[in-house]
């Protein structure tokens, strides 16, 4: 049983370091997406989305794996559960893994913030395109 728990903990830890790399890539892509909205570069936006898709797929799989691991370890899938898992690690690795977890949380927050900014840009971009291609859509005019 202890070896299963050890293996599960190692799998959990591995997803953290992998996701740090993936979220760093995603953060860069989201920043480029923001610039593409500012530049009205629709081709760059399309390319950007194709770069995001595999990253988001991998991140989703890792999150599901971590959720499954927490369940198998009998821990809640929450901060409390993660704290319990981190607290159960040997002292030699706990501080490193805790630091990695904090880095991951920070990167997630940064990506969410950038994504929210991009959503505003996207809405503005769509509104601008609509006003250019359908200029009467948002104006008052005499009805026949």
The CATH number that applies at residue 118 is 1.20.58.300
Kindly state whether residue 133 falls inside one of the protein's structural domains.
no
Mean pLDDT of the chain: 91
For 120-142, what is the mean pLDDT?
71
Reported as a pLDDT band with limits 50, 70 and 90, residue 141 is low
Kindly state whether residue 138 falls inside one of the protein's structural domains.
no
Kindly state whether residue 143 falls inside one of the protein's structural domains.
no
Q: Phi then psi for 78, rounded to 5 degrees?
A: -155, 180
Kindly state whether residue 82 falls inside one of the protein's structural domains.
yes
Structural domain count of the chain: 1
As given in the structure block, the two tokens for residue 127 are: 């509104």
Whether 140 has a pLDDT exceeding 60, the answer reads no
Distance (Å, rounded) from C-alpha 34 to C-alpha 117?
8
Reported as a pLDDT band with limits 50, 70 and 90, residue 2 is low
pTM: 0.84
The residues near 57 (Cβ < 8 Å, ≥ 6 apart) are none
- The range of the structural domain enclosing residue 46 comes to 2-122
Whether 78 has a pLDDT exceeding 60, the answer reads yes
CA 127 to chain CA centroid, Å, is 26
Kindly state whether residue 132 falls inside one of the protein's structural domains.
no
- Residue 13 has, within 13 A of its CA and on its CB side, a CA count of 18
The per-residue pLDDT for range 32-56, each reduced to its tens digit, is 999 998 888 889 999 999 999 999 9
3-state secondary structure of 134: coil
Kindly state whether residue 88 falls inside one of the protein's structural domains.
yes
């Amino acid at each position: 049983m202890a070896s299963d728990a050890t293996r599960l903990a190692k799998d959990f830890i591995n997803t953290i370091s992998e996701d740090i790399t993936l979220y760093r890539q995603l953060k860069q892509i989201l920043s480029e997406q923001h610039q593409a909205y500012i530049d009205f570069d629709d081709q760059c936006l399309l390319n950007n989305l194709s770069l995001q898709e595999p990253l988001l797929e991998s991140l989703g799989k890792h999150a599901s794996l971590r959720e499954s691991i927490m369940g198998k370890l009998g821990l809640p899938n929450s901060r409390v559960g993660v704290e319990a898992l981190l607290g159960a690690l040997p002292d030699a690795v706990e501080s490193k893994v805790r630091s990695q977890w904090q880095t991951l949380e920070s990167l997630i927050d940064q990506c969410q913030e950038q994504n929210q900014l991009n959503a505003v840009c996207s809405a503005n971009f769509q509104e601008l395109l609509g006003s250019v291609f359908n200029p009467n859509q948002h104006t008052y005019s005499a009805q026949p």
